Structure 1
């Protein structure tokens, strides 16, 4: 099937990749957007909490972005006329029930525990922070550094304090995965990410932003433009290629045929949907693993650092166990500071807390999945273009990049461009298209998603 013969496109998954794909394609194609949950947005999940006569919108998944590293998202939000506000990405660490606590805002909070002024191990950690930052700033992608983060730290003699009380807590908080998983992260990619996001600079870091009224503001606008084409509570159970296109079957047994399909789910979910994946799809999509993370929205301050003076936007909490490499990621976000909430209570979003919040403080519990980027996943990323558009199926999602909102949006924008649709705010030359094999076009269709 030639591109000009494609009329109907199904999209599986309504996170930002699938939602943006449907929104971009809606004026040229007949699109249907399938979502298994009762809400649209995937990790963009805002919950309204009643407080007196008000309702406080609190984000539990996607919360922040910055303009230098999220250029497409920035342009999308501007185009949708969604109001944003500045926030901060302050970071605090609390180890062993508060035995060690510090925050990075300023020297006062760094030495909130005054004994650390004469603590050799703590001062050595700070020295290693400065050394690591300098190495990352000067680092250029080199084949001889095609090693894991753990191997790099071993090679350069970074001490225990730096690893487990600074670098790995920060990295585990960013990627929502355990510390031992972060040690397997490819160093080249790690250093590039830290450089790009200003994490190796003391000054001139990017200005972080949140959406006024919660991240769901952009979802409301985009989903509203799609109307009845958004199908919530409809989980797709299987995907089958046919001679005429692609057929989906929902868990309720309903079947629907499309000229092309965009699978905008996680990579592991995508491969599980395909009835007969081709060998390359099975090889590449099967390389991606995901980490389940339990998330609580609550008001229990016991899940924060003991010293309120070090409370930050991001707060890493851990026990001082002997097997530090196996520390699960445990982070509490102080939403009042992150979202600049006008609220009477303190609200927190805690990811994999060491203990659950007290029942009287619990508002909502969720489980989110985040991709794990080991060397196998990073290798597969480089080959993903080779499975795009094959026999009517396209793929997109955050696993095409670092696992963040911009990566998911970028992947859907590229698929839309390959289907002949440009973003309304960019010149055509600004978007890279993903082209399938030309000899496939006579009989095959395409799709897109997050």
Structure 2
């Protein structure tokens, strides 16, 4: 008795969304995994450095997760048998020009101690941070936060000190967007994040934050071993077209035919790759925007405050450059990953000054979706794009269905959308 051949599926993009889809499909389809880069993983990008006779895996994009906010991804790690390490959190704000510093401990002080020990600028930030988190929660449930963050802060009469000494610093770390785009973000998305975590954001201490043991490359390697796909590394796809009985995938090496395709790329890349999009695809992808950020793995302490005792896992800096206040993030990777080393390793995001060239290990450019009101509104209908088509879309520009419309742009959102795309495809083939 003959067995019907498995459908041939092209998964285009080997970031977390593509890996998620391929993993779900692995037993039901013959998978070809296309990736334009020479490596797998996308934002799961671990740089392995030799340090005192051992190899340290240092993450440069996706770094931390927690079970409540990453439920599907957490189950995936468990299924793969990939271990995670507890991360204690902790954050520090610092101004390289004025020397003002405050962090986890200071934000938890009583108001009278803040007034007695710290300058008025920090007192303003301390009071308004308390007010923002208290009022934001109430406004969220009263449905008064569906407007741009900048407008929400204007209505609340929040100060410039609070905006540039707290809001911008936390938000650039969470969503990897520059200061000028923070104000466009939906206030509801920002407030929902802090409600789901705590007031310290990624550096909060009331959440069981974890890092992947050995770096996120550990899960990528385990997943690819389980999937065992046909790999097409360093092979950019230049066009994807749905046909009557399949999908054609054009690359720089030629055109191949598949039964289905999963387009696990950024939304703007998907828009460019679809050579004959249908109306739903065209409408869904029309206005999605991305922003590029520069992450640098290095050992130059110039990006950190001079007082080493203040170094935390998450360090939010600001400095004036060419007359503008420039915020940036400095991750202290020794503390973040929980390893001991005679060398201090940092990952800085959009650091506006020069680093010593001989201390730079790797420069990496990453793109993230710009989360504005249009993208959040799109979440109401975005999953309809995968109905009735042989080409399924996924990526971090989708939300996680389990966590609702404000879970956009994260590793969990990308993973969950890849899982959903695969489930949709399995329904189509009757698996």
With the length of structure 2 as denominator, give the TM-score of the two structures.
Answer: 0.90
- Conserved 8 A contact 2:104-2:200: no
Structure 1's unaligned 5+ residue stretches are 422-440
Task: Verify the 8 A CA contact 1:287 1:380 in the aligned structure 2.
Answer: no
- Where do 5+ consecutive residues of structure 2 fail to align? 400-407
**Mapped partners of 1:247, 1:407: distance in 2:** 27
Counterpart in 1 of 2:402? none
Equivalent residue runs for 1:12-51 within 5 Å: 12-51=12-51
1:52 alignment partner in structure 2: 52
Structure-1 residue corresponding to 2:227 = 226
Question: Would you say 1:412 and 2:418 are equivalent positions?
Answer: yes
- Per the TM alignment, residue 287 of structure 1 is displaced from its structure 2 partner at its CA by 1.7
Give the structure 1 partner of residue 299 of structure 2.
299
Contact 2:303 2:351 in 1 (8 A): yes
Give the match for residue 389 of structure 2: 391
Question: How far apart, in 1, do the equivalents of 2:251 and 2:45 lie?
Answer: 23
Residues 168 and 327 of structure 2 are in contact (CA less than 8 Å); yes or no, is this contact kept in structure 1? no
Q: Aligned residue for 1:136?
A: 136
Within 2, Cα distance between the matches of 1:116 and 1:276?
A: 66
Distance, in Å, in 1 between the alignment partners of 2:144 and 2:105 is: 35
Q: Is the 8 A contact 2:133 2:191 kept in 1?
A: no
Determine which of 393, 397, 400 is the counterpart of 2:398: 400
Q: Which moved more, 1:228-237 or 1:262-271?
A: 228-237
- Check 1:344–1:282 CA distance in 2 against 1; reply closer, same or farther (3 A cut): same
- The question of whether the paired residues in 2 share the 8 Å contact of 1:178 and 1:328 is answered with no
Give, in whole Å, the separation in 2 of the partners of 1:170 and 1:108: 17
What SS class does the counterpart of residue 343 from structure 1 fall into? Answer: coil
What do residues 350-379 of structure 1 show as CA deviations (whole Å, max 9, x unaligned)? 111112321110111110101110111112
1:118 Cα offset (Å): 4.2
Question: Structure 1's 110 and 162: CA in aligned 2 closer, same or farther, altered over 3 A?
Answer: farther
- Backbone CA RMSD of aligned residues: 2.7
Q: How far apart in 2 are the matches of 1:151 and 1:220?
A: 44
Deviation track 1:30-89 (CA, whole Å, cap 9, x = no partner) reads 111111111110000111111232221111111100111111111111111111111133
Q: Distance in 1 between matches of 2:314 and 2:26?
A: 38
Query: How far off is 1:140 after superposition?
Result: 3.5
User: Could you tell me whether the CA contact under 8 Å between 1:6 and 1:260 is conserved in 2?
Assistant: no
Q: Give the number of equivalent residue pairs.
A: 416
SS of residue matched to 1:14: coil
Secondary structure at the aligned position of 1:420 is classed as helix
Whether 1:246 aligns to 2:244 is no
Q: Deviations over 1:311-357 (max 9, x none)?
A: 11111222246976xx5552111000000123220000111111232
Matched with 2:338 is 340
- 1:222 and 1:55, CA in 2 relative to 1: closer, same or farther beyond 3 A? same
Q: TM-score, normalised by structure 1?
A: 0.86
Deviation by residue 1:113-141 (Cα, 9 ceiling, x = unmatched): x9982422211210111111111233334
